[in-house]
Chain A
Amino acid sequence: MKQQTIEKKFRSRPQAVVKAERLTEKVGRKCEVDTGLMQDICIAVTEAVNNAVEHGNNLEPDKFVTLRFDCFENLIRITVGDEGPGFDVGLVADPLSPENLTKPNGRGLLIVESLMDEVSIKPSAAGTVVVMVKNLVKKR
């Protein structure tokens, strides 16, 4: 399969996560990604886009979230960028500690890191960029 790149920008509105998920499904079909892996990828993309819209861009509709897919033969790399002020990853509370276990939020990053094969987060004053890689198993 030839390498393919698909990129789209979304305004920072709650609906962005639904649009991002639809785009992810479309990319998955185009790149013939296995259904089980697609679920992991969809969950990770919606987590990253939710974070970018709500925490990165603080739901400001004039700010955009960029979602990019780079599909290769054996892996898919997903990049999610926001235009927010950035954050300190080290300050994210451990969602597995007993005092946080029943809190309604704070699990997104844990889930992304568990479901994807590689995750990197690069915060900066110009925005945060999350890069996620999933190794692919082709449909038979």
Chain B
Amino acid sequence: MQIKHVTSGDVAVLHLQGKIMGGPDATSLHEKLHELIESGTRSVVIDLRDVDWMNSSGLGILIGGLSAIRKSGGDLRLASVTEKIEEVLRITKLDRVFDVYGSTDEAVTSYES
């Protein structure tokens, strides 16, 4: 899995690529999210358009990041989820926990309101 970090105003956008399945790759995503939180970032968008699928390890990292950032008064929002990830979010009812947007632009601008 590859992680590309770009900033749009006050919003950190993480563009992920590949598959999120646990193991060493998952550790790098966990570390990146916590690095952002510790540096004071409060608005995060995870762009999943290039992630084919993720398993519960990936979901666990995202939910861990979401909980940590919400505790600090911020939020983590998902953008451009693929069909398979949408299915996994639905199975686990995490579609009720995460705010999911159709595109990264929509997710970024949602922080303005």
Across the two chains, which residue of chain B brings its CB closest to A103?
Answer: B63
Indicate whether A102 sits within 8 Å of B97 (C-beta atoms), given known contacts A14-B24, A15-B23, A17-B21.
yes
**Are the CB atoms of B91 and A111 closer together than 8 Å?**
yes
Indicate whether A43 sits within 8 Å of B53 (C-beta atoms), given known contacts A15-B23, A107-B59.
yes
Taking the nearest CB of chain A, how far is it from the CB of B59, in angstroms?
Answer: 6
**Are the CB atoms of B21 and A18 closer together than 8 Å?**
yes
Partner of B60, one of A16, A101, A104: A104
Check A108 for interface membership: any CB of B closer than 8 A: yes
**Are the CB atoms of A18 and B25 closer together than 8 Å?**
yes
Task: Report the interface size for chain A: residues with CB under 8 A from the other chain.
Answer: 28
Check B72 for interface membership: any CB of A closer than 8 A: no
Indicate whether A96 sits within 8 Å of B92 (C-beta atoms), given known contacts A39-B84, A107-B60.
yes
Considering only residues 98-112 of chain A, those with a C-beta below 8 Å from chain B are: 101-108, 110-111
**Are the CB atoms of A46 and B24 closer together than 8 Å?**
no
Chain B's interface size range is 20 to 34
Chain B window 35-72, contacts with chain A (Cβ cutoff 8 Å), 1 for yes, 0 for no: 00000000000000000111111011101101100000
Check A50 for interface membership: any CB of B closer than 8 A: yes
Q: Which residues of A contact B56 (CB under 8 A)?
A: 47, 50, 105-108, 111
Indicate whether A17 sits within 8 Å of B84 (C-beta atoms), given known contacts A39-B52, A42-B53, A107-B59.
no
- Residue from B27, B55, B57, B94 having most chain A Cβ neighbours under 10 A: B55
Check B22 for interface membership: any CB of A closer than 8 A: yes
Check B11 for interface membership: any CB of A closer than 8 A: no
Chain A window 80-112, contacts with chain B (Cβ cutoff 8 Å), 1 for yes, 0 for no: 000000000000000110000111111110110
Across the two chains, which residue of chain B brings its CB closest to A48?
Answer: B55
Across the two chains, which residue of chain B brings its CB closest to A113?
Answer: B91
A-B contact pairs, 5 of them (CB 8 A): A95-B92, A101-B93, A102-B63, A104-B61, A111-B88
Seen from chain B, the residues whose Cβ lies within 8 Å of a Cβ on chain A are: 19, 21-25, 27, 52-57, 59-61, 63-64, 66-67, 84, 88, 91-94, 96-97
